[in-house]
Chain A
Amino acid sequence: GQQVMQIPQYQHVQEGEDFTTYCNSSTTLSNIQWYKQRPGGHPVFLIQLVKSGEVKKQKRLTFQFGEAKKNSSLHITATQTTDVGTYFCAGEIPGANSKLTFGKGITLSVRP
């Protein structure tokens, strides 16, 4: 069954607002990755987190890996219309042949 959860599936924000989404795994992960998919496009790699408690920043995006390596968060500061898309987290489960298990994603819409 689904082992990497992303809830909710949709979120709508006003341009300029902050946005945070979470990813939860039922098992400890070796690492977690985040991808972004624009409407009609393909997933594009954003970041990978490996260490417990790790925090990485990319301009207005902040990614965090939980201490227990079972959850992660993505925070976007002052959203822009270019942030529109679906954000997927993907976890590598130890012993699972190096494959990634993707969450269902959260689709972000930004009102200008």
Chain B
Amino acid sequence: NAGVMQNPRHLVRRRGQEARLRCSPMKGHSHVYWYRQLPEEGLKFMVYLQKENIIDESGMPKERFSAEFPKEGPSILRIQQVVRGDSAAYFCASSNLAGGYEQYFGPGTRLTVT
């Protein structure tokens, strides 16, 4: 049973470009969470999605950031017009039920903006 997959593992973008981060949850999981982690910082919640629905995007900046989890295919976190401050590790996690269930994390995407 494959775990949570994220790609790419490393992504380098110049300022102003777009970054697309992909997350395939564990098989059978329909809940996906995206987190951002800065060096020596904790995990900051960004967005929680179920298939075709955004449940909670309270942690995601309103501008330049968007997320989706289509009926078919991986969840996508999209960052438009990246700036240096977007450089971070982005982790996605999945769970098979909502509320009070362990989350399985992917290996993360390390985004570097030059």
Select one of A33, A44, A105 contacting B42, CB under 8 A.
Answer: A105
0/1 string, A62-96, CB within 8 A of B gives 1: 00000000000000000000000000101010001
Tell me how far the C-beta of A25 lies from the nearest C-beta in chain B, rounded to whole angstroms: 14
Q: Does B104 interact with chain A (Cβ within 8 Å)?
A: yes
B40 with A9: CB separation less than 8 A: yes
Select one of B41, B58, B105 contacting A43, CB under 8 A.
Answer: B105
**In the complex the two chains form, what is the Cα distance from A33 to B106 in whole Å?**
17
CB contact list, B31-45 vs A, under 8 A: 31, 33, 35, 40-45
A103 with B100: CB separation less than 8 A: no
Residue total for A at the interface (Cβ-Cβ under 8 A): 27
B98 with A88: CB separation less than 8 A: no
Q: Does B52 interact with chain A (Cβ within 8 Å)?
A: no
The total number of A-B Cβ pairs within 8 Å is 61
Closest to A46 in B: B102
Select one of A9, A45, A88, A98 contacting B99, CB under 8 A.
Answer: A98
A97 with B56: CB separation less than 8 A: yes
0/1 string, B84-114, CB within 8 A of A gives 1: 0000000101000011111111111000000
Contacts of A99 in B (CB 8 A): 33, 45, 48, 56, 59
Residue total for B at the interface (Cβ-Cβ under 8 A): 27
**In the complex the two chains form, what is the Cα distance from A105 to B42 in whole Å?**
6
Select one of B41, B45, B91, B108 contacting A100, CB under 8 A.
Answer: B45
Select one of A30, A44, A48, A92 contacting B105, CB under 8 A.
Answer: A44
Given A43-B43, A88-B43: A97 in contact with B48 (beta carbons within 8 A):
yes
A31 with B42: CB separation less than 8 A: no
Contacts of A102 in B (CB 8 A): 35, 42-45
A contact set with B: CB distance below 8 Å? 6, 9, 30-31, 33, 35, 41-45, 48, 50, 88, 90, 92, 96-105, 107
B contact set with A: CB distance below 8 Å? 31, 33, 35, 40-45, 48, 55-56, 58-59, 91, 93, 98-108
